[in-house]
């Protein structure tokens, strides 16, 4: 392909920042689960309770809201040990659900932002959320071209559902309990564990099995080459070139 790519060059300390963010997020989720702050109570007026066979279809917003509140509560404490200073919910069409900002104090003070995509999976439903859509190919590729140090984190949260009937009314309420978590930097998910689904717009990136994704350290440019290869295999070089011109991934003569 006779084109001149815009090759993003990440900072030399990107791997350190990625590890830092993942460690902090994982520690915060572990704290919530270990201390029992991991339950979501769902009140209904249904005598039969929640439709458990379809609960995975509505669990995502509940679990996402729970995670957001855990982060917000910690950020409200200026002395929190995770150095988390700011939390913001993503907007409807954003590729992420939550933005976290950290203030790291070393020899100097550094700031880092991470974009979090929360994925909910039911522990007792084998296929629930196993291979979720993550984000669109064109959107995420463009984000990394614009910012080679873009940190896109996938936070996978497993949950269980319990039901409890109130003796006086016969109404059954639900308790959603977050029981485990996994945290991945999208750029470091192994090439073998990343799928490209051509459906929907420019196609969606997927993780084959979000519970057991392998890790493979890559530079931003290496990651984009992996994405391009998957897109081209599904479509063609010509289709890729049309997108590259549209989203300005290549240099063109004036």
CA–CA distances in Å: residue 32 to residues 3, 18, 144: 49, 22, 32
What is the number of helices (H) and of strands (E) in the chain? 5, 11
Residue 15 falls within a domain, yes or no?
yes
Residue 88: give the domain boundaries: 10-249
DSSP per position, 159-188: EEEEEEE-TTT--EEEEEEEEEEEEEEGGG
Predicted TM-score (pTM) of the model is: 0.90
Per-residue pLDDT of the chain (254 residues; tens, 9 = 90+): 467 899 999 999 999 999 999 999 999 999 999 999 999 988 878 777 776 666 667 788 899 999 999 999 999 999 999 999 999 998 887 889 999 999 988 777 899 999 999 998 887 655 555 678 899 999 999 999 999 999 999 999 998 888 888 888 888 888 889 999 999 999 999 999 999 999 888 999 999 988 888 999 999 999 999 999 999 999 999 999 999 999 999 987 64
- Read off the CATH number of the domain in which 98 is found: 3.40.600
3 within domain boundaries: no
The answer to the question of residue 222 being in a domain is yes
């Amino acid at each position: 392909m006779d084109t001149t790519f815009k090759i993003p060059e990440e900072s030399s300390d990107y791997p350190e920042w990625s590890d830092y963010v993942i460690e902090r997020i994982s520690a915060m989720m572990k704290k919530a689960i270990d201390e029992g702050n991991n339950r979501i109570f769902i009140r209904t007026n249904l005598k039969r309770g929640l439709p458990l066979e379809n609960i995975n279809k509505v669990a995502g917003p509940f679990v996402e809201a729970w995670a957001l509140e855990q982060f917000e509560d910690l950020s409200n404490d200026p002395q929190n040990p995770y150095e988390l200073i700011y939390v913001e919910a993503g907007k409807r069409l954003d590729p992420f659900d939550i933005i976290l900002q950290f203030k790291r104090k070393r020899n100097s003070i550094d700031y880092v932002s991470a974009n979090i995509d929360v994925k909910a999976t039911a522990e007792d439903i084998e296929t629930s959320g196993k291979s979720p859509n993550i984000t669109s190919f064109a959107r995420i590729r463009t984000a990394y071209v614009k910012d080679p140090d873009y940190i896109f984190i996938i936070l996978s949260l497993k949950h269980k559902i319990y039901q409890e009937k109130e003796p006086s009314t016969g109404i059954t309420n639900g308790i959603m309990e977050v029981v485990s978590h996994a945290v991945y930097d999208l750029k470091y998910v192994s090439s073998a564990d990343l799928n490209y689904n051509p459906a929907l717009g420019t196609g969606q990136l997927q993780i084959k099995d979000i519970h057991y994704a392998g890790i493979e350290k890559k530079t931003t440019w290496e990651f984009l080459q992996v994405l391009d290869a998957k897109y081209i295999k599904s479509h063609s070089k010509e289709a890729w070139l049309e997108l590259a011109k549209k989203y300005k991934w290549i240099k063109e003569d004036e």
